[in-house]
Amino acid sequence: MVIHPLHTDIPRPERFTYPFAYEPHPLCQLAAKEVQQYIATHEEIKADADTGKMFGVLVVEATPDSSRARGESYDFLAAYSGLLAGRNDWDYFVPPVYDAQQPDGYFKTKEREISRLSKDSQDTREMSQELQLWLFHQYQLLNARGEVKDLVDIWQSYYNKEKLRRKFPLPPGGTGDCCAPKLLQYAYQRGLKPVCMAEFWWGPSTKTELRQHLNYYPACRGKCKPILTWMLQGLDVDPDPELLGFRRMDIPVVYEDEWLLVVNKPSGMLSTRGRIEQYSVESVMQERYPGSIIAHRLDMGTSGLLIVAKTPEVYRPLQEQFIKHQVRKKYIALLEAADDSGFSRTVRKSPCKSAAIKGTISLPLRPDPMNRPRQVVDMEHGKRAVTDYEFISPNIVALYPQTGRTHQLRIHCAHPDGLGRPIVGDELYGTKGERLMLHATEIWFTHPVTQESMHLVSPPPFLK
């Protein structure tokens, strides 16, 4: 049975879920618990899910011939991304948008034919490309208005500017096989009315997927943003929170002279203007000191010390110090407690219980083009990223970055080959919380005008 009754009197949300940034609605949390119980009690499914898998739920208005006849007002659908235990025909979950796994179907037949050819031949490459394009055309996706477009049309309509179309000419492989498109397609095909949706991760964090067991995550942007932009048309959807603007915050000054200042950036504030949001430390400083420039950046969730040059003439020698790695920075992070999910997690241990744990993490990083702003460890193509660390207590660690890659400290803490423990409040690589418990607590640099050795300190606000 694919349509499952949901036994609850929880009121429905006002609008449907914006899938790229959301708090899971209680209806989705209830449905997700039922799916999790199902996974846990079906050995073949659990064995595959235990290696790491994304699952999703879609709550819909109850149909007259299902729950409503028993006095319930909701049903729910469940889905998984890709294949589950090598199959896509599990009775409990919605089917794929298009089933390319049929052994005697056109796709598999043609795939076997191509595999018999020389792998390096021009004919093989052309046939593979033609087969992939054929497959994309089979994904006939509905939206809430009942309109239909295939995957290629959706993709090219979304990337309709010539420059973008050259960069993203066709969808990547696997597009259309994530949870959200499967769930919405099944609901639309059967006239079901979507109420809310959520996706959760089952299993351990892997070396490529830094996600935590049973945590909820937004839909991926690389594959799903063009599709869901189409499929959600006709639904009343929650607004994109990025378009709502950020609340105004105080920016305490730790040090100031006539050439520069060092401020204490609050968590939840951008260092520099974003693609949509203009409000940032940069915009505030430039209002106060026209011509000022932020000398470096901190992630929006990270708080702490940030240097601001009041003029371009002061900025340039500061930048040179950063380029030559002459600026030293110390961060304090509060880490999640030891994993109690039942899945093992690599944790670096001290050889002596009474000694502080020290070491160096070297894991090269690159952006994940399918799921920005996430970064991934890539030993072959990633850029060098090195962090020294020292445990202050079992859950508090001092971090000294030798390089300044995006999300470097967050990944080096969360990755199984790093500390194996995400920073508390890290919604990308750990568990969402009140805030990201990461603070730039000390900074050392040479004053670009006076040549004085500068050392500024800001205690972590979350350890007071």
Q: Is 299 a catalytic residue?
A: yes
100 DSSP assignment? -
CA distance 202 to 416: 16
Q: What is the mean pLDDT of residues 328-336?
A: 97
Among candidate residues 255, 380, 248, 261, the one with its CA nearest the CA of residue 311: 261
Contact 453, 316 (CB under 8 A): no
Nearest 5°: the CA angle 432, 438, 440 is 155
Task: Determine contact, residues 34/233, Cβ cutoff 8 Å.
Answer: no
Provide the pLDDT for residue 350.
Answer: 40
Confidence class for position 340, pLDDT limits 50, 70, 90? low
Looking at residue 246, the DSSP 8-state letter turns out to be: P
Please state the pTM of the whole predicted model: 0.89
Mean pLDDT of the chain: 91
For range 174-200, the mean pLDDT: 97
Arithmetic mean of pLDDT, 198-203: 97
Q: Which of 48, 75, 177, 299 is catalytic?
A: 299
- Say what the pLDDT of residue 126 is: 85
Cα angle 221, 227, 229; round to 5: 85
Predicted confidence at residue 169, as pLDDT, reads: 84
Of 55-59, 166-170, 347-351, the range with the highest mean pLDDT is 55-59
Tell me the per-residue pLDDT of 378-392, one tens digit each, with 9 for 90 and over.
Answer: 999 999 999 999 999
Mean pLDDT value across residues 211-222: 93
Decide: residue 404, CB within 10 A, 0-12 exposed, 13-18 middle, 19+ buried: middle
Kindly indicate the confidence band of residue 346, based on its pLDDT and cuts at 50, 70 and 90. very low
User: For the segment 64-99, what is each residue's pLDDT rounded down to a tens digit?
Assistant: 665 444 455 899 999 999 999 999 999 999 999 999
333 and 423 Cβ atoms separated by less than 8 Å: yes
For residue range 401-453, list pLDDT tens digits in order.
Answer: 999 999 999 999 999 999 999 999 999 999 999 999 999 999 999 999 999 99
In whole angstroms, how far apart are CA 19 and each of 61, 216, 239, 462? 19, 11, 10, 30
> Where is mean pLDDT largest: 65-74, 107-116, 143-152, 267-276?
143-152
The more confident residue out of 242 and 297 is: 297
Say if residue 353's pLDDT is above 50: no
Q: Note the pLDDT of residue 385.
A: 97
The Cα–Cα gap between 206 and 414 comes to 10
